[in-house]
């Protein structure tokens, strides 16, 4: 267990310790005076076997411990010589004089939890104010998502009674996406301390598309495909509402999360999780049972096929966005959604016109159009997308996703009083299975680790309870009687 020496003859550990224990008033030596030693610094190694013997040396402690450690010879030179005003011995003196900080919650509970009888106190679990605030915001956001999604679905169903034009309704509502970036900029001006002009903010957000910003090539290769997928998703969803009731449509659309997992696993090579495979199987089983609930009639089969296709388009949109564009900040997401609105105005407007003149979606006069329903549906859908895309700023994504599945019972209650839906056993089981699969998909990737930790804590708590009970009995009246009984053994 020897210590390698410098050419000067002094042991390495001791030479460093002596240099480090100097007072702050003594100036360090020049680099030229210790050039032979500096050439040997790269071989400075403290053996594991002598770490305990050298812990008294602050220099060796600093060299071998710490969050980062010394990784360059320049840092070692500065530590030993104090060159350029770097004096670690002065810092160590201040660190030794400074009183120790108050212990954290775990350290504070350890001594307080041990009593005279050796009884351990139970650990108290508390939520920080920030976490409670996020939870409260999550409940509000989930309710907003639920109400806007269920409201837009019911209003679309009501609109088709007067205005049978699902593609025109899709086009009209998608045009409102243009408001995303202006609304984001208003929020930026109100909240941000460093305010930028609209042009500056636009240029900064355009970097999301690459170094050249939003060019014509980028518009047609990275924005136009998503505009088509967005239109298809909404059109298929609205067309399915014409065929089947809103309860079935809303619960079947929840399968899009299972489709996202399957596509991410295949295309993005995401982590394989058995519980999510089970959730995908439950979603598929729920689709089959939902089809069986109405007896495989052509009307209901077409409606179910339409909403499943809509869920598939939504899943493809999300996976391709992650594959081609990655993750986006709030301003970048707002700009991207506004670009989809511009694409819809420029290139999709011709389709409702063609459908009108071919009388596929025809209305006698513009006065017969229920503008109130159309604007109300567009506002609810815009609110839903705003909350779903920007709600992550104030709460957890899992709580936001719960709002979508909560819209299913809301639509079921409305359908029960406004339509002739029959909630037979097969339909109820299908709704429960799809809802269960959706909830399983909300589990985080480390859910199994958390579950094992929870079960371990419960086992430890059960073992502590009998021990506490035995300690209480030993100090009870029986022990007093035993102490009061005279002893004949002398």
- Which residues on adjacent β-strands are paired with residue 120? 114
Q: Are 135 and 399 contacting, i.e. CB atoms less than 8 angstroms apart?
A: yes
Phi and psi torsions of 395, nearest 5°? -155, -175
How many CB atoms neighbour CB 120 within 10 A?
A: 14
Tokens 């002893």, located at residue: 487
- Give the torsion sign (CA, 316, 321, 327, 329): negative
What share of the chain has pLDDT > 70, as a percent?
A: 68
Give 5's strand partners: 11
Phi-psi region of 295 (alpha: psi -120 to 50; beta: other; left: phi over 0): left
What are the distances in angstroms from CA 151 to CA 197, 376, 377? Answer: 36, 9, 8
* Local structure of 5: helix, strand or coil: strand
Report d(CA 43, CA 375) in Å as an integer. Answer: 75
Q: Are 149 and 387 in contact (CB under 8 A)?
A: no
User: Rounded distance, CA 88 to CA 294, Å?
Assistant: 79
Angle between helices 246-253 and 129-159 (to 10 degrees): 140
From the CB of residue 243, how many other CB atoms can be counted at a distance below 10 Å?
Answer: 18
More confident residue, 396 or 313: 313
Question: Between 328 and 64, where is the model more confident?
Answer: 328
| Bigger pLDDT: 76 vs 311 | 311
Contact status, residue 3 vs residue 11, Cβ threshold 8 Å: yes
Average pLDDT, the chain: 76
- Better-scored residue on pLDDT, 89 or 327: 327
Taking alpha carbons only, the member of 490, 207, 479 closest to residue 332 is: 207
Q: Kindly indicate the confidence band of residue 247, based on its pLDDT and cuts at 50, 70 and 90.
A: very high
Say what the pTM is. Answer: 0.68
Question: Given a cut of 90, is residue 454 above it in pLDDT?
Answer: no
Q: What is the pLDDT of residue 127?
A: 67
**How many Å apart are CA 33 and CA 44, to the nearest integer?**
19
Q: How confident is the model at residue 312 (pLDDT cuts 50, 70, 90)?
A: very high
Q: What is the mean pLDDT of residues 333-359?
A: 94
In 142-189, beta strands by DSSP E: none
Res. 3: pLDDT tops 70: no
Comparing CA positions, the residue from 269, 474, 239 lying closest to residue 355 is: 239
Domain residue ranges in the chain: 130-450
Whether the per-residue pLDDT at 69 is higher than 60: the answer is no
Percent residues over pLDDT 90 in the chain? 36
| Alpha-helix runs per DSSP H in 294-361 | 298-324, 330-343, 350-357
Quote the tokens at residue 104. 């954290």
Residues 267-308 have pLDDT tens digits of 888 887 888 889 889 999 999 888 888 777 777 889 999 999
């Amino acid at each position: 267990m020897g210590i390698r020496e410098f050419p000067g003859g002094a042991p390495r550990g001791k030479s460093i310790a002596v240099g480090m224990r100097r007072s702050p008033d003594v100036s360090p030596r020049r680099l030229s005076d210790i050039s032979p030693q500096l050439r040997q610094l790269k071989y400075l190694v403290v053996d594991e076997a002598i770490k305990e013997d050298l812990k008294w040396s602050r220099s060796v402690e600093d060299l071998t411990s710490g969050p980062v450690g010394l990784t360059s010879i320049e840092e070692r030179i500065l530590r030993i010589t104090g060159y350029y005003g770097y004096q670690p011995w002065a810092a160590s003196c201040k660190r030794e004089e400074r009183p120790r900080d108050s212990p954290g919650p775990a350290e504070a509970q350890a001594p307080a939890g041990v009593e005279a009888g050796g009884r351990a106190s139970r650990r108290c679990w508390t939520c920080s104010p920030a976490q409670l605030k996020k939870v409260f915001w999550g409940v509000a956001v989930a309710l907003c998502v639920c109400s806007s999604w269920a409201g837009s679905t019911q209003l679309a169903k009501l609109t088709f009674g007067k205005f049978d034009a699902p593609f025109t309704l899709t086009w009209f509502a998608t045009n409102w996406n243009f408001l995303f970036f202006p609304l984001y900029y208003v929020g930026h001006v109100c909240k941000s301390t460093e305010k930028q002009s609209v042009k500056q903010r636009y240029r900064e957000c355009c970097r999301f598309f690459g170094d050249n910003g939003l060019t014509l090539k980028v518009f047609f290769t990275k924005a136009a495909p998503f505009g088509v997928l967005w239109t298809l998703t909404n059109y298929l969803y609205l067309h399915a509402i014409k065929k089947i009731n809103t309860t079935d449509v809303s619960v079947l659309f929840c399968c899009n999360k299972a489709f996202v997992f399957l596509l991410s696993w295949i295309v993005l090579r995401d982590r394989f999780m058995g519980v999510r495979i089970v959730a995908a199987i439950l979603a598929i089983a729920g689709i089959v049972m939902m089809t069986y609930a109405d007896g495989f009639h052509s009307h209901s089969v077409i409606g179910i096929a339409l909403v499943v296709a809509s869920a598939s388009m939504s899943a493809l949109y999300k996976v391709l966005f992650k594959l081609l564009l990655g993750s986006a900040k709030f301003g970048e997401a707002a700009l991207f959604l506004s670009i989809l609105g511009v694409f819809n105005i420029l290139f999709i407007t011709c389709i409702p016109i063609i459908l009108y003149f071919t009388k596929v979606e025809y209305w006698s006069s513009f006065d017969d159009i229920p503008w109130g329903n159309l604007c109300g549906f567009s506002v609810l859908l815009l609110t839903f997308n705003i909350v779903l895309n920007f709600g992550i700023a104030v709460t957890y994504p899992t709580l936001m996703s719960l709002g979508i599945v909560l819209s299913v019972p809301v639509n079921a209650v409305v359908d029960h009083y406004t339509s002739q839906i029959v909630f037979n056993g097969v339909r109820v089981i299908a709704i429960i299975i799809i809802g269960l699969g959706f909830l399983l998909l909300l589990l985080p990737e480390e859910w199994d680790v958390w579950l094992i930790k929870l079960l371990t804590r419960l086992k430890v708590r059960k073992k502590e309870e009998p021990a506490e009970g035995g300690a209480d009995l030993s100090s009870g009246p029986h022990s007093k009687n035993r102490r009061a009984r005279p002893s004949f053994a002398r």
